[in-house]
Amino acid sequence: EWGEKWREKVDLEERPFAAASIGQVHRGRLKEGNHAERGWKEGKRVAVKVQYPGVSDSIESDLSNLTMLVKATGLAPPGLFLENVIRVGREELKVECDYRREVENQKRFRSLISSDAGLVADRFRVPEVIEDLCTDKILVTEYVHGGTIDKVVDLDASERNRIGRAILRLTMLELFVWRFMQTDPNWGNFLYDVRTRTTYLIDFGAAREYDEEFVRGYLNIVVANANKDE
């Protein structure tokens, strides 16, 4: 993906330090000086997500085999629309394999979050994308410190409450204001740096946009539920 002289671009640790859903993540440092015009200094620490070879090519065959297995064994519960489940799974997997799309998702979320005064005050951030080094199978961002956010359970109540309120507000913004949501919000996609009390959002492969009609209908359901309207 980077060509034969890729080692001139990044000093990459060969052993991955983290796993992604369809790839693995390596630490590295920028080496080339030609990133300076973008403000990326030589020696800047980066995270390099590399997609496992052949993942995107095997989606069709893997899902076809799964369909045959489920049908042959009768594992699917009654009422499950298997073909629809497989169709949606196929679409979602193809989207996750598109690192170019993820780059645009991450840039968009970074812009949205950095422009919201409340989230900025609560120290919520999205790492910068090193777009010059991104390809169809490689995604490079600035490296950030932090552990999975579930570890904040050991912090004092005021800090836990601050983070909880901020995440709830972020969710409401994503769904009802931006109509653009990170639909894989597991704890591993929120990194908390205890030293700076900063929360970093990562992994935007599953982000998706919702039209106004869908959001309005969903909001009506939420309001009806809150009012116990049967």
Residue carrying structure tokens 């956010």: 149
Q: Is 132 a catalytic residue?
A: no
Beta bridge partners of 28: 12, 46
Place of tokens 């630490």: 27
Cβ neighbours of residue 137 under 8 Å, at least 6 residues apart?
1, 50, 51, 99
- Of the candidates 131, 135, 130, 132, the one whose C-alpha atom is nearest the C-alpha of residue 56 is 135
**DSSP string covering 140-199, please?**
EEE----EEGGGGGGS-HHHHHHHHHHHHHHHHIIIIII-EEES---GGGEEEETTTTEE
Determine which one of 11, 98, 116, 184 is catalytic. Answer: 184
Structure tokens at 89: 């799974």
CA distance 100 to 218: 30
End-to-end Cα distance, the chain: 56
In 3-state terms, what secondary structure has residue 77?
coil
Q: Is 25 helix (H, G, I), strand (E, B) or coil?
A: strand
- Give the active site residues: 184
